[in-house]
Amino acid sequence: MADMKQTLDDFMKTMKQIGETDKDYSDAFKSFIQQAEKPGALSTKIKILISLALGVKAQCPYCIAVHTYNAIKEGATRQEIMEAAFVAGFMGGGPSIAYIRYVIDSCDQFNAK
């Protein structure tokens, strides 16, 4: 089992260090995320689930940890999270399916219902 809480913490530390090195860069990245995930025709929850699927397809454990955590905060259920990951598995084949392990670990460790 991967320690996805540690993975999330490592990512957050990295973002903090980036902000200390170049605040404008960090602020621009955060603003970009906020703009991309703000509610519109799609809810924030759906947009985060799309981000999660893209993280699985990209084979990025950090992305998986962050987006699973945020999806849960937005009210996504374990089933919704898993179904988003399954779409990534369909599009990415075996390698993406292997990364669903990180989604399962994230759901367990972040208490997805």
Q: Which structural domain, as residue segments, surrounds residue 10?
A: 4-109
pLDDT tens across the length of the chain (113 residues): 999 999 999 999 999 999 999 999 999 999 999 999 999 999 999 999 999 999 999 999 999 999 999 999 999 999 999 999 999 999 999 999 999 999 999 999 999 99
Total-model pTM: 0.95
pLDDT at 92: 96
Q: How far apart are the first and last CA of the chain?
A: 19
Using the structure block, give the residue that is written with the tokens 């970009």. Answer: 32
pLDDT at 94: 97
- The CATH number covering residue 64 comes to 1.20.1290.10
DSSP for 63-99 reads HHHHHHHHHHHTT--HHHHHHHHHHHHHHHHHHHHHH
Structural domains in the chain (count): 1
